[in-house]
Amino acid sequence: MSLAAAGADALDHRRAVRWSEVRLIATVIAKRLLAGVVVLFIVTVLIFLFIHAAPGGPEVAIAGLDATPEQLAAIRELYRLDDPLPVQYWTYISSALTGDLGTSFMLREPVADAIGRALSGVTIPLIIITWTTALVFGVSLGYISARKRGQLLDRAIVGITVVGATAPMFATGLLISTVFGVQLRWFPFFGSGSGGLDTLYHLVLPALTMVIVMLASTTRISRVRFAQVLEEDQYAFAKARGVSPRAIFGRIIFRNSAVQLITWAGSVIVGLMTGLIIVEQIYSLPGIGSLLITAIGSRDIPMIQGITLVIAVAIVLVTIIVDVLCIIVDPRIRRGMEADA
Amino acid sequence: MSQPNQRRRRRSVGAALIALTLITVTGCASSGEAAPGDSSLDVIFPILRPTLDVRDNAAQTLGIQLLVNEPLFVYTPDGEFVPRLAESVEQPDPLTFVYTLRDVTFSDGTPLTADDVVYTFDLHRDPESTSVMARYWGAVESVEATGENEVTVKLSASDPEWPYTVAKTGIVSASYYESNGGQAGTPGAPQIGTGPYVVDEFKASAEVDLVRNPSYWGEEAPYESISFTAPKDDNSRLLALQSGNYDALLLPPLSQVKALSAVPGYVASEITDTSTYRINFDLTKPPFDELAVRQAISHAVDRDAIIGAVFNDHAEPADALVPPPILEVAGEPGPVAEAYDGFARDFDLDLDRAREYLAQSSVADGFSFTVPVQQSDPAQTLIAQIVAQSLAEIGVDMTLAPLDDNTYIQQVYFDKDIDGLSIDSWSAGSPEPAGMLFNAYTPGIFSNVSQLDSAAVAAGLAEYRELPVDSAERQPLLLDVLTEIHAERPTVPLLYPNLVFFTAEDTTVSGLNGFWWLSPLYEIIAPAS
């Protein structure tokens, strides 16, 4: 066989491998999406049942304490709250499938509009800032800590981050607001500002509060994994062969830790969803957490369903992205899945 | 008063910092400098509603709404009705009101017409209305535009609350409402009106920013802008005041007044509010259907302990459901004080008498029951805990069941699905002296929690409805009604909480009363100069 033919065979082989990887990833995405649809269906049914099992209907919150029984009955009729539950669920789910999440009882506007505004105005910027900051600093501190494990710096990093994480988020927020908002007057600690840079400015302290809470776990997870890799033979051999520190970090330490870090990064996003509810209360931010709390308090059924659906979709998507990224970065997972197939 | 504007300037500095950090070259925030002499009033408010739709705002939040949507008549702190969007009103007969409208325009330039007034009134009185004020429109038989600038309202029966209902109803633009498909007053379609202010920015339940209406027909308001924000917890409220960025903090929880008083630069104004914390007995449920049991509990409750421990003495003991200042509107203070002193004797803390009364009842050895408490009102829970301790002294075992607002309202007011005793706070919806009594003791009405069905009380209230507003018989008649109610003991009035405003030292507060929200806020909190 000529050299050219051998080269062509190698190229074909690489293409075949790449194609099989693409098919594998596509299969994984399809399976996960299918599972996600089932999960979403279950979530919508459960949320629907929970809302309707709770005593006190939305008509009381809508019409207030001065309502008359006739007015309450009229409101129930207006929003078809006396229809059988399966009929109400079908009305909701069939509309949701067309992208219509209904109209909020309390806000008098489409649920999608209110959620969109809360997401774009507060929640998504806050998640992005918090997530990237927590990961960058957490992974960096984890790496430093792993390299210096057992030493004073390691103990200091782990100790400080754990103290930050064990303090209740309310207390952390209060302390940060007092120091940076009231005393130093560097940043606002109230509301979301008037959009753009002003909103980013208003999100600094809320993000800092959440970062402090998330930092300990991120640092710890990355420290443990980095320390494991630093103990492995491949690291010792690479170092002995004189591979550059940059290459050792990129190809050995970071790459071998990537699956755990990606998985953890996904978990951080999911964890942030619950943290958001608290931090939005502390800083009076009109984000999705505040919207959900208000909606639950007033039994705003379309809004509760809409927000929980959006959160469930986000979690399903994050899970799928994490799975796909893990398959891409770690060939061992690919081979395992191919063998299973 | 924050000169324009400490807050904006700080925002700008921060925005610039971020701009530098991000190496961004566009979008620098403007400094927001205003003309000399202009100023803003930045207010920390207790709660903001999800919309600025006129159907969704009542009581305190009307103080914001009415700055944008003016009523036909304004109720002043002096207790007078002053024409605003109406030039005048005539009454050809006691049940007919003919309003002549002023020639003014909405902030979008469209003229105010009689159809706008009819449309607004119909928003509240429609049988399917979601209005929180719908109850007040029950006596309205018809509303018609009887001329280009004339609206005629006919009542089906005499209604002493009608003038107050008019003063609470901000007029909206019918065409704006129609063109926005039911979404007027939301962040996407900010409310418009004829008032001295227009909505600059609205964030549902979080923030309302108003700026002067440049085309306002009346006298220019003193502040260039007024903003309202609502902290979601006590700590945020305290920090906000400490930051010095706000000119006023209205209606804080009374348990927080002491901490807030320590913030320098602010002055506290405190008056008795127009609400009452009370214990309600359901007269249809044993053993509370026995007068002796109700009398026993009346003497067992330590109201002073509640006022001291829960309200830090920022409250007055209550001797009847209606706070005295409301009754004094209909006459002199003397007779009210005399009658209330008589009631007070039956609420004295006296455990021996309480045990004696209990011994006369069918539950002489004591009994047990559960009382629902509203989680959103920490004061109510604390009151219930103190009441439980007091009742334990006479052998009555009271257990607390915390409920969220909706569940509480449903169980206590609408379903009356409780063991027979509830604790709540009840507010006067208007300055009408009989308003609270109409609400609380009209037989069959949902808010008659005690289910009192007294012919004497009903007859007294019916007679009151027919009296002219300026009749000297009104106050004596109401005191008679209160005496009839007291004889039945459907309620143990506990206390009248105070109402507190914290305002910056460079402002002055005047005309503050329990119905401050019916007057323009800038008249109550005015620039010192």
**Mean pLDDT for the stretch of residues B398-421:** 92
**Mean pLDDT for the stretch of residues A7-33:** 79
What's the pLDDT score for residue B1? 55
**Mean pLDDT for the stretch of residues A254-273:** 87
Q: Residue A20: which region, alpha, beta or left (left: phi > 0; alpha: psi -120 to 50)? A: alpha
A85: Cβ contacts below 8 Å, ≥ 6 apart:
A48, A49, A52
Q: Of the candidates A56, A75, A170, which has its C-beta nearest B409's C-beta? A: A56
Question: H or E segment at B267?
Answer: strand B266-272
What's the pLDDT score for residue B495? 97
Q: Cβ A286–B203 below 8 Å, yes or no?
A: yes
Work out whether strand B40-44 and strand B81-83 pair parallel, antiparallel, or are unpaired. Answer: unpaired
What's the pLDDT score for residue A3? 64
The answer, yes or no, to whether the previous bond of B83 is cis (omega within 30 of 0) is no
What's the pLDDT score for residue A2? 67
Block residue for tokens 């050792």: A248
Q: Which of B56, B243, B374 to mutate to test the interface with A (most CBs of A within 10 A)?
A: B243
Residue B7, pLDDT > 70, answer no
What's the pLDDT score for residue A26? 87
Q: Cβ B27–A196 below 8 Å, yes or no?
A: yes
Question: What is the CATH class of A113-297?
Answer: mainly alpha
Q: Cβ A298–B410 below 8 Å, yes or no?
A: no
Establish, for the pair of chains A and B, how many residue pairs have beta carbons separated by less than 8 Å.
184
B127 touches chain A (CB under 8 A): yes
d(CA A301, CA A49): 11
Nearest to B433 by CA among B163, B93, B133: B163
Residue B4, pLDDT > 80, answer no
Residue B255, pLDDT > 80, answer yes
d(CA B245, CA B230): 14
Q: Which of A129, A172, A197 to mutate to test the interface with B (most CBs of B within 10 A)?
A: A197
Nearest to A271 by CA among A213, A189, A198, A206: A213
| Cβ atoms of A129 and A207 closer than 8 Å | yes
State the nearest Cα–Cα gap between A160 and chain B, in angstroms: 25
d(CA A158, CA A162): 6
| Cβ atoms of B80 and B129 closer than 8 Å | no
Helix (H, G, I), strand (E, B) or coil at B215: coil
Query: How high does pLDDT run on average in chain A?
Result: 88
What's the pLDDT score for residue A330? 80
What's the pLDDT score for residue A341? 62
Note the pLDDT tens digit of each residue in B35-50: 444 589 999 999 999 9
Note the pLDDT tens digit of each residue in B443-456: 888 889 999 999 99
State the nearest Cα–Cα gap between A113 and chain B, in angstroms: 9
Residue B384, pLDDT > 60, answer yes
Q: Cβ B206–A286 below 8 Å, yes or no?
A: yes
State the nearest Cα–Cα gap between B14 and chain A, in angstroms: 6
| Cβ atoms of B492 and B298 closer than 8 Å | yes
Backbone angles phi, psi at A290, to 5 degrees: -60, -40
State the nearest Cα–Cα gap between B291 and chain A, in angstroms: 28
What is the token pair recorded at B466?
Answer: 């027919």
Q: Which residues of chain A neighbour B410 with C-beta distances below 8 Å?
A: 55-57, 60
What is the token pair recorded at A155?
Answer: 């103990």
Backbone CA torsion sign across A98, A103, A109, A115: negative
What's the pLDDT score for residue B38? 57
The answer, yes or no, to whether the previous bond of B5 is cis (omega within 30 of 0) is yes
Task: Give the type of residue at A42.
Answer: I
A7 pLDDT band, cuts 50/70/90, is confident
Note the pLDDT tens digit of each residue in A270-289: 888 878 888 998 899 999 99
Q: Cβ B407–A55 below 8 Å, yes or no?
A: yes
Q: Buried (b) or exposed (e) across B308-343, using 16+ Cβ within 10 A?
A: eebbeebbbebbbbbbbbbbbebbeeeebeebbeeb
Q: Which residues of chain A neighbour B56 with C-beta distances below 8 Å?
A: 106, 108
Q: Which residue of A has its CA nearest to B131?
A: A63
B6 touches chain A (CB under 8 A): no
Task: Give the type of residue at B2.
Answer: S
Q: Which residue of A has its CA nearest to B410?
A: A56
Residue B278, pLDDT > 60, answer yes
Residue B459: CB atoms within 10 Å: 12
A258: Cβ contacts below 8 Å, ≥ 6 apart:
A326, A329, A330
d(CA B480, CA B256): 38
What's the pLDDT score for residue B31? 33
Q: Which residues of chain B neighbour A123 with C-beta distances below 8 Å?
A: none
**Mean pLDDT for the stretch of residues B459-481:** 93
What's the pLDDT score for residue A327? 85
A1 pLDDT band, cuts 50/70/90, is low
Q: Provide the percentage of residues in chain B whose pLDDT is more than 70.
A: 93
Block residue for tokens 């007078």: B80
d(CA A84, CA B99): 47
**Mean pLDDT for the stretch of residues A97-106:** 92
What's the pLDDT score for residue B21? 36
State the nearest Cα–Cα gap between A308 and chain B, in angstroms: 19
**Mean pLDDT for the stretch of residues B181-198:** 95
What's the pLDDT score for residue A277? 86
Exposed / middle / buried, residue A339 (Cβ in 10 Å: 0-12, 13-18, 19+): exposed
State the maximum Cα–Cα separation within chain A, in Å, rounded to a whole number. 93
Residue B130, pLDDT > 70, answer yes
Note the pLDDT tens digit of each residue in B161-183: 999 999 999 999 999 999 998 89
**Mean pLDDT for the stretch of residues A223-246:** 88
Q: Of the candidates B10, B50, B406, which has its C-beta nearest A299's C-beta? A: B406
Residue B30, pLDDT > 70, answer no
Block residue for tokens 């502040």: B223
Among A2-11, B125-134, B219-228, B390-399, the minimum mean pLDDT is found in A2-11
The DSSP-derived string for A258-308 is HHHHHHHHHHHHHHHHHHHHHHHHHTT--SHHHHHHHHHHTT-HHHHHHHH
d(CA A215, CA A213): 6
Q: 3-state secondary structure string, B65-99?
A: HHHHCCCCEEECCCCCEEECCEEEEEEEECCEEEE
B239 touches chain A (CB under 8 A): yes
Note the pLDDT tens digit of each residue in A162-184: 888 788 888 899 999 999 999 99
The DSSP-derived string for B364-432 is TT--EEEEEEETT-HHHHHHHHHHHHHHHTTT-EEEEEEE-HHHHHIIIIIS--SSSEEEEEEE-SSS-
Q: Of the candidates B130, B188, B236, which has its C-beta nearest A62's C-beta? A: B130
Any idea where the domains of chain A sit in the sequence?
Answer: 3-96, 113-297
Q: Of the candidates B128, B132, B204, which has its C-beta nearest A66's C-beta? A: B132
**Mean pLDDT for the stretch of residues B487-516:** 95
Q: Buried (b) or exposed (e) across A203-218, using 16+ Cβ within 10 A?
A: bbbbbbbbbbbbbbbb
B134 touches chain A (CB under 8 A): yes
Query: How high does pLDDT run on average in chain B?
Result: 90
Q: Tell me the CB-side half-sphere exposure of residue A261, using CA atoms within 13 A.
A: 25
Q: Tell me the CB-side half-sphere exposure of residue A3, using CA atoms within 13 A.
A: 0
Which residues share a beta bridge with B280?
B422, B491
Q: Which of B21, B54, B203 to mutate to test the interface with A (most CBs of A within 10 A)?
A: B203
Exposed / middle / buried, residue B214 (Cβ in 10 Å: 0-12, 13-18, 19+): exposed
Residue A111, pLDDT > 60, answer yes
